[in-house]
Structure 1
Amino acid sequence: MLPTALVRAAGEGQNPLLPADYDIIWSLVCTAIIAFFFVKKILPVFTRILDERTEKIEGGLKAGENARAEAEALRAEIERELVEARVEAARVREQAADDAKVIAADVKAKAHTEAERILDSAKRQIEAERQQAATTLRTDIGVLATTLAERIVGESLADEQRRQRVIDRFLDELEAQTDQAPQKVGGATEA
């Protein structure tokens, strides 16, 4: 059937490739209705959806920029605080070292003072004990000398003055011998 319709249309003077005018008009009317419906109903929905997406994307970008700016500010603040903390730590270390030096010097001074006090006290105690020993020794030697003298002489030294003279003379002779004895060592005299 198709070939006969083409032959008939060619015989009437119409181009067989062009549709009839009423088909073109009805196609244009349908296309206009669909286009009107599309422009009035569907296109605004698409535009609104695209606008919302654009706003969300722009909002996300702005939020990202804000977050990045806040992060940069926070990082800068943390770095500044870190630098301040390092400076403070260095200052505290210096202060601690200075305090340690002061404390060490103070402890050394106190120890030195205490050592001198103990040394002086020991010297005084030694001197007092030496004097006490010398006095005790002098008394004991005097008693022994008196007893010895009484036995040698054969008479009593009951007289206090006479006894004191004998003791003093004996001790003087003993001290003279003691002073001369350290100078002779092994038969040779020290210079």
Structure 2
Amino acid sequence: MIHALAGALVAAEEGAATPNPLLPETYDIVWSLVIVVVLGFFFTKYAMPKFTAILDERTAKIEGGLAKAESAQAEAAAALEQYNQQLLEARTEAARIREEARAEGAAIVAESRTRAQAEAARVVDNAQRQIDAERQQAAVSLRAEVGALATELASKIVGESLADEARRSRVVERFLDDLEASVAADAGKGN
């Protein structure tokens, strides 16, 4: 720039007769150059160190922020790993609990089935006893009615009274034995 100015001064002196409207006067160039040098000195002496300090401070903050971000990212990765580990443990625990619940459920079902079978057997046994008792009662009642009818019928057929208890009992027993034998014979033929 100085060479261009010097060249411009030389050209201005040579062509002093016709001033160039684009070139300022020499005193303007000299004073402008002095002001630029003074401003450059103050800028490099006072302003530039402050700008440098501010830029260094910002650089340090950015580097600190990056370091913090890296440490936060490392902490987040560790926390994620811990979370994944806990999640895996929780899933394993849940699977174990499900298996225990299934086993317990199967045991409860088996126990309930056993109880139900025992209860059904008890009900069937009670029903069978009741049926046997009713059958016995019906047989006794039937024997008494059949005996009375048989005695009455035999009295009418024979023409004599079967008032004697022992005789009546023998006739009824013989009639019932004959009846049971004929029923058993019919049942044997049916098979």
TM-score (norm 2): 0.76
Task: Give the corresponding residue for 1:57.
Answer: 62
Instruction: Kindly state the Cα deviation for residue 136 of structure 1 after the two structures are TM-superposed.
Output: 1.0
Matched, 1:165 2:170: yes
Task: Give the corresponding residue for 2:23.
Answer: none
Task: Give the corresponding residue for 1:48.
Answer: 53
Task: Give the corresponding residue for 1:71.
Answer: 76
1:132 to 107, 128, 137: 137
Identity %: 51
Unaligned stretches of 5+ residues in structure 2? 1-11, 17-29
Instruction: Kindly state the Cα deviation for residue 75 of structure 1 after the two structures are TM-superposed.
Output: 1.0
CA distance, structure 1, for counterparts of residue 99 and residue 59 of structure 2: 59
Unaligned stretches of 5+ residues in structure 1? 6-22
Alignment of 1:4-153 (within 5 A): 31=37, 33-34=38-39, 36-153=41-158
Query: What are the Cα deviations for residues 16-47 of structure 1, in whole angstroms up to 9, with x where unaligned?
Result: xxxxxxx8xxx78984x545423431122112
Matched, 1:3 2:14: yes
* One-letter amino acid matched to 1:51: D
CA distance, structure 2, for counterparts of residue 78 and residue 164 of structure 1: 96
* One-letter amino acid matched to 1:147: E
Cα distance change on mapping 1:59 and 1:124 into 2, 3 Å: same
Cα distance change on mapping 1:30 and 1:57 into 2, 3 Å: closer
CA distance, structure 2, for counterparts of residue 114 and residue 149 of structure 1: 50
Query: What are the Cα deviations for residues 79-107 of structure 1, in whole angstroms up to 9, with x where unaligned?
Result: 11111111011111111111121111111
SS in structure 2 of the partner of residue 184 of structure 1:
helix
CA distance, structure 2, for counterparts of residue 2 and residue 121 of structure 1: 145
The count of aligned residue pairs is: 165
Cα distance change on mapping 1:154 and 1:28 into 2, 3 Å: same
* One-letter amino acid matched to 2:153: L
Cα distance change on mapping 1:171 and 1:43 into 2, 3 Å: same
* One-letter amino acid matched to 2:50: V
CA distance, structure 1, for counterparts of residue 115 and residue 126 of structure 2: 16
CA distance, structure 1, for counterparts of residue 36 and residue 142 of structure 2: 151
